[in-house]
Amino acid sequence: MVSKHTGRLELTWTDKEKTLLSTGDGQYDYTFVDPSDYRVSEVRLLHAVDRVEAPTPEGRPEDLPEPTDDNLLITGDAMHALDALAKIPEYSEKYLGKVKLVYIDPPFNTGQAFTNYEDNIEHSIWLTMLRDRLRQILPLLARDGSIWVHLDDVEVHRCRAVMDEELGPENFLAEVVWQKATSPRNDTTGFSVSHDSLLVYRKTDQWSPNRMKRLASSNTSRYRSRDGDPVPWRDGDATAGKAATNHPMVYAIQHPVTGGLMYPTPGRCWGKAQSWFLDQMNEYAKYELRDIGDEERRAVICGTTPDEVRAGVPAIMLAEPLEDAAKSARARHEAGQWPDLVFLDLNKERLQRKKHLADEGRVPETLWFASDVGGSLRGKNQIRDLFPDLHAFATPKPEELLQRVIHIATDPGDIVLDCYAGSGTTAAVAHKMGCRWVTAELLPATVSRYTKPRLTRVVKGDDPGGVTTSSERVAAAALPDGVTPDEAQEFNRLLNKVANGQGDLDTDTLKALRKLTKTKVETSTLWHGGGGFTHLEVGPSMFEDVDGMVLLADWATQGELAEAMCAQLEVTYAPDGIFAAKEGTVRYVVVDGLVGESTVRSILDQLPDGQIVEVWATQVADGAADLLRKERKGSRLEAIPDSVLDRYRRKASNGSPFKKEKTSE
Ligand SMILES: C[S@@+](CC[C@H](N)C(=O)[O-])C[C@H]1O[C@@H](n2cnc3c(N)ncnc32)[C@H](O)[C@@H]1O
């Protein structure tokens, strides 16, 4: 069928088809380049700088997650770091399709001049950068993973359109609003902005969030224990939707006291299997399944006719005289700790289901207050506490904010990635929560001043701030039913205020009220130190531009050249005699020099039977490539750098070296 409509919803911008290059190592200078440009296509090596580790402290509580040591801090451009993770086999084996959470807090396009990074790049530049990074991040994400992009109000609307394009609108999960400021800036001429946004997308529909821990201080007043059940509960619905498609779950339950028949309301069915309802009712009296020929009544509830409704669905009926049943039901009610199927009033024909407090947890919500997760100021103070002698890093996020993100999106042991590390908040919190992590930061000065010392202190157990400990107000003794610790504390505070100086008040009553509402703050330590990380840096380019000609850089010789070439070919560098790598039946040889017919013959002499060879050489003599092809079919000889650059051009022919990945399967 020919579609009535053409075109698609998308955001366009200047040079959208180009790729963005943050030129120069370790500094900002953004330029649009052709997608085949070697400066964006080249896979850079990652060089080890340092290893930081510490033993797990003895005597830490056993229920805390194990410290992780398989973590990477990378100094360098996010573009190169992500490319290396996805394409160099040593890393891609660990990270490709395995990252559970990506949180990025890229430089905002606010035009503000921060001390630590420039932010005045225009919308198109910013969007191209973001789009390219999303394309690199997507293959790294696990199918049950999610990506969280932290933004202010300058780009959030455009960014969401781009994320829809790259990840699919069906994978949009939420726009979380984080209250970053609690008091207005009165020096602004328009509005004082109090929030940032976090756009959250999943990779596929396999993603599911962890629920939020219910705090002792949260509003749980609906949960009570009116039957002496050790776990507080509230009365929930015993029915569920939809009767129309669940005829076997629509039937009568006879009331043990009145003898009346209880049905779900029209359109609904009982919320669990009939065997469960029978077991529950048997706690009140003796019951059995019996066909009572109630097709007409069931048909009304199911929205169908008596002929169409499922025939013979039995009712749950008393199997003893009503008088005996009523007696036994009353005795059961008085005994307390009622079954999960409850009658709040045994004389009413209304069934409810207990919803226990522990069962539920809170689903994550989209409005995050500074009082819960900290605001910008708390983030700054946390860095100031760590580095009192340094000028504070401009935009650190509070650890509690990341703790909530990581809690919702991961479990201990999962991999968390942040390629705009800044002061390293994401990695620090991921480490404290027992996750594995990879983080990259462009500016070496930021890494050496903030990121690395901070993460080192986390590993050494020398960072008492942030989420290392957590405090919660709890009841000092049992509080009156339905009163939360925060409410009790507030009551106590007001009571003292009101009673102050009122000598004629009854002191015994005051004392009793204070005692009844006494609370205390309980502090627990989440992090004790341990684990480790490897510090890597993005290596220099293997090419250099001399008067418009792309030549090999001076350092790219011999073994170094071979290793860099293996990265371009996306094979594991594993030198073995003349061979630099092997994959399946293909061997790779990288020659820093001229390959003529005699070199070809000597390579062929050493090539095992049944294998073919790819030879990459800085110079190729006439006839050598033909000889190799002829002597071992499927083998080839290529010139560095020309054939490498051709390879980039071929790969980029789809418009970007960072291909768009299909997300919805
Ligand atoms: C908004 S800050 C991140 C702050 C961080 N979330 C924290 O809590 O400290 C953005 C960081 O991204 C870094 N950055 C900018 N461009 C980058 C690039 N191309 N690759 C890696 N990092 C980059 C900046 O130097 C800056 O430290």
Residue whose CA is at the smallest distance from ligand 1 atom 26? 422
Residue 13 in domain:
no
Q: Cα of 422 to ligand 1 centre, how many Å?
A: 4
pLDDT of res. 116: 40
24 pLDDT exceeds 70?
no
Residue where one domain finishes, among candidates 342, 359, 376: 359
Residue 510 in domain:
yes
For 585, phi and psi rounded to 5 degrees? -95, 10
Q: Measure the CA dihedral 143/146/147/152, to 10°.
A: 160
Mean pLDDT of the chain: 91
Q: What is the C-alpha separation between 212 and 470, in angstroms, rounded?
A: 15
Same domain flag for 622 and 648 = yes
637 pLDDT exceeds 70?
yes
Residue whose CA is at the smallest distance from ligand 1 atom 15? 107
C-alpha pair distances (Å), 159 with each of 99, 122, 154, 155, 201: 22, 13, 9, 6, 12
Residue 14 in domain:
no
565 pLDDT exceeds 90?
yes
Tokens of 160: 């969401």
Q: What is the C-alpha separation between 131 and 655, in angstroms, rounded?
A: 13
664 pLDDT exceeds 60?
no
Same domain flag for 163 and 100 = yes
> Which residues, at least 6 apart from 305, have a Cβ–Cβ distance to it below 8 Å?
299
Mutate to test the pocket of ligand 1, among 44, 119, 441, 455 (most ligand atoms within 8 A of CB): 441
pLDDT of res. 103: 98
Q: Is 376 in the pocket of ligand 1 (CB under 6 A)?
A: no
Tokens of 232: 């507080």
Mean pLDDT over 587-607 rounds to: 97
Mean pLDDT over 220-248 rounds to: 85
pLDDT of res. 475: 83
Same domain flag for 315 and 347 = yes
Same domain flag for 59 and 204 = yes
Residue whose CA is at the smallest distance from ligand 1 atom 12? 420
DSSP type of residue 612: E
Q: Is there a contact between 574 and 581 (Cβ–Cβ < 8 Å)? A: yes
Q: Is 77 in the pocket of ligand 1 (CB under 6 A)?
A: yes
Same domain flag for 345 and 375 = no
For 164, phi and psi rounded to 5 degrees? -60, -45
Mean pLDDT over 585-610 rounds to: 97
pLDDT in tens, 340-399: 999 999 999 999 999 887 656 789 999 999 999 999 999 999 999 999 998 878 889 999
Nearest to 431 by CA among 524, 531, 525: 531
Residue where one domain finishes, among candidates 324, 343, 359: 359
Mutate to test the pocket of ligand 1, among 442, 449, 658 (most ligand atoms within 8 A of CB): 442
pLDDT of res. 659: 58
Q: Is 103 in the pocket of ligand 1 (CB under 6 A)?
A: no
> Can you tell me which atom of ligand 1 is nearest the CA of 425?
8
> Can you tell me which atom of ligand 1 is nearest the CA of 103?
6
pLDDT in tens, 182-209: 999 888 889 999 999 999 999 999 999 9
Residue length of the chain:
665
Point out the least confidently predicted range of 300-309, 366-375, 485-494.
485-494
Mean pLDDT over 588-594 rounds to: 97
Residue 19 in domain:
no
Q: Cα of 530 to ligand 1 centre, how many Å?
A: 26
Same domain flag for 193 and 61 = yes
Same domain flag for 90 and 202 = yes
pLDDT of res. 124: 84
Same domain flag for 501 and 581 = no
Q: Is there a contact between 36 and 647 (Cβ–Cβ < 8 Å)? A: no
Q: Is there a contact between 625 and 601 (Cβ–Cβ < 8 Å)? A: no
> Which residues, at least 6 apart from 68, have a Cβ–Cβ distance to it below 8 Å?
413, 431, 434, 435, 436, 437, 531
> Can you tell me which atom of ligand 1 is nearest the CA of 106?
10
Point out the least confidently predicted range of 164-168, 213-217, 309-313, 431-435.
213-217
Instruction: Write down the ipTM of this complex.
Output: 1.00
Residue 500 in domain:
yes
pLDDT confidence tier of residue 586, bands split at 50, 70 and 90? very high
pLDDT of res. 22: 72
Q: Is there a contact between 235 and 352 (Cβ–Cβ < 8 Å)? A: yes
What string of DSSP letters covers 504-562? TS-HHHHHHHHHHT-EEEEEEE-----EEEEEEEEPPPSEEEETTEEEE-TT--HHHHH
25 pLDDT exceeds 80?
no
Q: How many Cα atoms occupy the beta-carbon half-sphere of 552 within 13 Å?
A: 21
Q: Is 40 in the pocket of ligand 1 (CB under 6 A)?
A: no
Same domain flag for 179 and 278 = no
Point out the least confidently predicted range of 33-47, 413-427, 477-491.
477-491
pLDDT in tens, 276-294: 999 999 999 999 999 999 9
Q: Cα of 83 to ligand 1 centre, how many Å?
A: 17
Residue that wins the pLDDT comparison between 231 and 618 = 618
For 7, phi and psi rounded to 5 degrees? 80, 175
656 pLDDT exceeds 60?
no
pLDDT confidence tier of residue 125, bands split at 50, 70 and 90? confident
pLDDT in tens, 500-509: 877 788 888 8
pLDDT of res. 94: 98
Same domain flag for 64 and 200 = yes
CATH code of the domain containing 63: 3.40.50.150
- How many structural domains are present in the chain? 4
pLDDT of res. 234: 85
Residue 61 in domain:
yes
Q: Is there a contact between 419 and 439 (Cβ–Cβ < 8 Å)? A: yes
pLDDT of res. 113: 29
Residue that wins the pLDDT comparison between 590 and 32 = 590
Same domain flag for 155 and 294 = no
What is the residue range of 649's domain?
Answer: 542-654
Residue 150 in domain:
yes
Q: Is 442 in the pocket of ligand 1 (CB under 6 A)?
A: yes
Other residues' Cβ atoms within 10 Å of the Cβ of residue 508: 8
Q: Cα of 107 to ligand 1 centre, how many Å?
A: 6
Residue 534 in domain:
no
> Can you tell me which atom of ligand 1 is nearest the CA of 393?
9
Same domain flag for 551 and 644 = yes
pLDDT of res. 112: 38
Q: Is there a contact between 317 and 270 (Cβ–Cβ < 8 Å)? A: no
Residue whose CA is at the smallest distance from ligand 1 atom 16? 442
Q: Is 150 helix (H, G, I), strand (E, B) or coil?
A: strand
CATH code of the domain containing 639: 3.40.1350
Mean pLDDT over 139-152 rounds to: 97
pLDDT confidence tier of residue 114, bands split at 50, 70 and 90? very low
